[in-house]
Structures are given as C-alpha cells and as structure tokens.
Amino acid sequence: MSFDPAILARVQFAFTVSFHIIFPTISIGLAMFLAIVEGLWLKTRDPLYFQIYRFWLGIFAMAFGVGVVTGIVLSFEFGLGFAKFGQMAGPAIGPMIALEVLTSFFLEAGFLGIMLFGLNRVGPRLHFFATCMVALGTLFSASWILSANSWMQTPDGVAVQNGHLVVTDWLKVIVNPSWLYRLPHMLAAAYITGSFLVSGVGAWYLLRGEHIEFGKRTVSMGMGFATVLIALQVFLGDILYGTMLKYQPAKMQAAEGFWDKQSESPAPYYWIIVPDQKSQRNRFALGTPYLGSIWLTHSLHGRVEGLGNTPPDLQPQMGIVFYGFRIMYGIAILMFSLAVASLWLRWRGRLFSTRWFLRILVVMTPSGVLATLGGWYVAETGRQPWVIYNILRTADAVSPVPAGVLLSTLIAFVCVYALFMAAFLIFAGRMIKRGPKDAPAYAEASGSLKPALKPGMANGATRNAAVTE
C-alpha cells in the first residue's frame, strides 16, 4: 500500500486542528460568560450567579485543559508536517504567534490557576480580576492566531528574496485585508457557541423540572446574548462573504455549487449537490428555484459565477467547501429563527414554559461547534491548493517524513484524541446530570467567600466535590 505523504500530512493537520478548535471555541465563549456572571454576582450579591459560576467553571476547566494540550501540538505541527511552510512563513507568522504566546497564553495560564483554585486565597475581587484576565487572554489569542491565519489567506506586506520571505511592512502583515472581517466573525462564533451551550443545559433542567431557578436564569441570559449575537453574525458573515469573494473568488464559487462560468438564469440556490470534480459538473443537484439569483445577486434573474472560472488545477474540492458552507449557513438560519422565537416568547412571558422551544434548545446545545467547524472547512479547504495564497502550494510545503511514519502518528493521534473526547463528554455529561450545587449561603451576606469556604464549614462540600462543582 502506498500513501502520498502530502495527503497524510494534510489529513493529520486537518484532524488535529479541527479537534483543537472545538475546545477554544467553547473556552472563549465560556470565559466571557463566566466573567459576566461573576461581575453580576459581585454587583448584585445574588447567590444564584455564584451558583451558575461554579457550575460552568467546572466544564470550562475541562474544555480549557483539552484546548491547551491540543494547541501545544499545533504550534509544533507547522514544522513537523510542513517543514517548508515553517521555513517560508516563519518570518511572517512566527513573530505573530510569538506575540500570541507572550500576550495571551501566559496571561491565560498565569491567571487560570487563580481562577480555578484561588478564590479562597485571593478573595472575590481579585478573583474576578483573574477571570477577566483569562477571558481577555482568550480574546488576544484569537486575535493573533486569526491574524496569522488571515495572512495565509490574504498575504500582504511581504516580499520574496532568494527563496525566503522578507517582511516589508508589519502593519500590512498584521492588519492584512481579511483579518478585520474574520476576527469579529470568529469571536461572535465563539460567543454564540457559548450562549447555546449555556441555554441548552438550562433548557434541559427546565424540561426535567430540576434546578428551576438556575435553568431560568441561564436560558434567559443565554438566549439574550444569542439573539443579539446571531443578528450581528449574519451581518458580519455577509460582509465576510463579500471580502472573500473579492480575494478568493474560487472559494465562494465552490461554496455555491455551480460549475459553469455563468449559471443559468434565474439561478437556484442549491441545498444538496453531488459534485464530480473530474468532469467539472454536478451529478445531482437539488435547490430552490430563483433563490440563488435573489440571495447572491439581489435580483430575480441574475446569474451566479461558477467554479469553471478557475482553472481546474487551481480549484479547491467543491464538495467540502459547499457542505461546510451549507452547515454553517443552515445553522445560522436556524439560530436566527430561534432568536426571533425567543423574543416573541419572552414578550409573551412563555420563554421558560414552551416545551417545544426548550426541546429545540437542548438539541441545539452543540450547534455552535458544528457551525464553527463548517466555517473553518470553508475557509481552509476553499483556499487550496495554496497554503499561503498565491505564494506557496500546500503540496510543496510538506516535510521529508515517510508516509508510513505519518500514518502511524495519525493513528496515534486519533486514538489519544478519541480518549480525550470520550472523557470530556462523559465527565461533562455527569456534571450536567448532577446539576449545580447550592451556593454557600454566606456568598449573599458578606460578598466574601472566605468564611463560606473555611474547612469544615463548607456546606459539607468535600474537596473533590468542590472542584467538580
């Protein structure tokens, strides 16, 4: 059996980075949620907020842990699988990732310990500060890494001198043409993910008639954030679409599923296609008539440009890009509808008692993660065959590592990561089933946890339970 090392290196990178992004998305979202909840607790002294904080802190800690260890893998993978990419892009993305480490990873790591274990030692105010620093760290991290990735999508500010890349203008490298549009889209994605996570769990409690106050407060907060953010996201997504259409037309052509240079008029909007890249056509396509013209050209009869405008050797795989986009877009439409419904129900005072709505929220718990993955597949597969757009081809970037070795390490990654995922899901599931523990009564009265958490007075909370809660 012979495998192409280039394909294996790509599959390995795709697998490890896809696995990683699940956890940052959750930790960026939850870190901000926790900071808001703790702020509200300090302001109102309402122990319910403290209860919510403690509950979500447990899940956050696990997601963060998995995010850290899978992220460390990625920072080496640029050189492990794609040595020539590292040599070429190092001068541009290396300094950005170095600054990411300095300004965000250390910030997160330094304050994480205090956030998770230090409340009793530093008191609520300083603890709130630590939570905010962790949330800020995740935000900085997303900014730098998106700047690095956006530079690969829309490189600017560099010149090639005898095979090596030289930065000519740092401002243009960092604030490259797509970063300013992609960063808010990614951040909103993470906050939306967090909102649906929190709402879904709250809705589950409401449906089961348990932890009612907790459920109501989290559903209310979660759907409140989600409503604002999804409206923003649709707007941001639309702008991003226009930007990428300008810089990487092939990506957006692939995302819409047409092959001919110009589609028929009026153009349908495809929902399902079976593309055949070799013969440059769809074997099967199902869509809504007229909708393509209306959405994509804002006219009844407009024609849409197809992937045929790009020479076949410069085309990305249509199938992955198309379905990545459909998943993201489909979920966005669903979320938007739910947001509208939630406004209506809230206005009628039935937000916490409408069972069909709560059931949909439960189903939607992981929806943000799926949409995020879909979006990243559009972004990353859609720029192929380039790893640095128009500068370096992916196939030319691969390390001199034999296929058999790549295959073995890929299998090792799959096994170990499957263990991580299983443990994460089992333990998070257990925490959710067990439900939030009552907040110590002292939290309300004094605003300080020191008396509440003194050994022997901690409301019977044992050490292990205390961390789990």
- Residues 187-226 within binding reach of ligand HEM (CB under 6 A): 189, 192-193
Question: Which residue number, 294 or 466, has a Cβ lying nearer to ligand HEM?
Answer: 294
Work out whether 68 is an interface residue with other proteins (CB under 8 A).
yes
Work out whether 70 is an interface residue with ligand HEM (CB under 6 A).
no
Question: Which residue number, 100 or 305, has a Cβ lying nearer to other proteins?
Answer: 100
Work out whether 14 is an interface residue with ligand HDD (CB under 6 A).
no
> Position 24: which residue type?
P
Question: Which residue number, 90 or 249, has a Cβ lying nearer to other proteins?
Answer: 90
Stretch that binds ligand HDD, among 124-132, 138-146, 322-330, 443-451 (CB under 6 A): 138-146
- The binding track of 19-58 with respect to ligand HDD, each residue x by CB under 6 A or -, is -xx-xx--xx------------------------------
- The binding track of 348-367 with respect to ligand HDD, each residue x by CB under 6 A or -, is --------------------
- Structure-token pair, residue 137: 């760290």
State the nearest-atom distance from the C-beta of 190 to ligand HDD, in Å: 7
- Structure-token pair, residue 261: 């240079």
- Which of the choices ligand HDD, other proteins, ligand HEM, none does residue 234 contact, using the CB cut-off of 5 to 8 A by kind? ligand HEM
Stretch that binds ligand HEM, among 78-86, 199-207, 267-275, 410-418 (CB under 6 A): 78-86
Pick from 296, 299, 300, 301: nearest CA to 257: 296
**Binding residues for other proteins restricted to 138-197, rule: CB under 8 A:** 161, 164, 166-168, 170
Distance between CA atoms of residues 345 and 338, nearest Å = 10
Place of tokens 């008692």: 353
Stretch that binds other proteins, among 90-98, 228-236, 291-299, 321-329 (CB under 8 A): 90-98
Q: Given candidates 12, 141, 147, 253, which one binds ligand HDD under the rule CB under 6 A?
A: 141
- The binding track of 21-40 with respect to ligand HEM, each residue x by CB under 6 A or -, is x-------------------
Q: Given candidates 420, 432, 438, 447, which one binds other proteins under the rule CB under 8 A?
A: 420
Q: How many CB atoms lie within 10 A of CB 66?
A: 21
**287, β-bridge pairs:** 270
Question: Which residue number, 2 or 161, has a Cβ lying nearer to other proteins?
Answer: 161
Q: Given candidates 54, 182, 217, 303, which one binds other proteins under the rule CB under 8 A?
A: 54
- Which residues are within 8 A (CB) of 398 and not within 5 positions of it... i.e. 6 or more apart? 5, 6, 9, 81, 82, 83, 84
**Binding residues for ligand HDD restricted to 163-192, rule: CB under 6 A:** 186
State the nearest-atom distance from the C-beta of 423 to ligand HDD, in Å: 16
Phi-psi region of 298 (alpha: psi -120 to 50; beta: other; left: phi over 0): left
Instruction: Give the residue nearest to ligand HDD (CB).
Output: 71
Stretch that binds ligand HDD, among 15-23, 50-58, 198-206, 434-442 (CB under 6 A): 15-23
Question: Which residue number, 146 or 338, has a Cβ lying nearer to ligand HDD?
Answer: 146
Work out whether 79 is an interface residue with other proteins (CB under 8 A).
yes
Identify whether the C-beta of residue 391 lies closer than 8 Å to the C-beta of residue 157: no
- Which of the choices other proteins, ligand HEM, ligand HDD, none does residue 372 contact, using the CB cut-off of 5 to 8 A by kind? ligand HEM
Distance between CA atoms of residues 387 and 36, nearest Å = 38
State the nearest-atom distance from the C-beta of 397 to ligand HEM, in Å: 6
The number of residues that bind ligand HEM (CB under 6 A) is 50
Work out whether 379 is an interface residue with ligand HEM (CB under 6 A).
yes
Identify whether the C-beta of residue 424 lies closer than 8 Å to the C-beta of residue 62: yes
Q: Given candidates 75, 288, 299, 390, which one binds ligand HDD under the rule CB under 6 A?
A: 75
Residues in contact with ligand HDD by CB under 6 A are 17, 20-21, 23-24, 27-28, 64, 67-68, 71-72, 74-75, 104-105, 108-109, 138, 141-142, 145-146, 186
Residues in contact with ligand HEM by CB under 6 A are 10, 13-14, 17-18, 20-21, 78, 82, 85, 93, 145, 148-149, 152-153, 182, 185-186, 189, 192-193, 233-234, 237-238, 240-241, 244, 251, 328-329, 331-332, 335, 368, 371-373, 375-382, 384, 387, 394
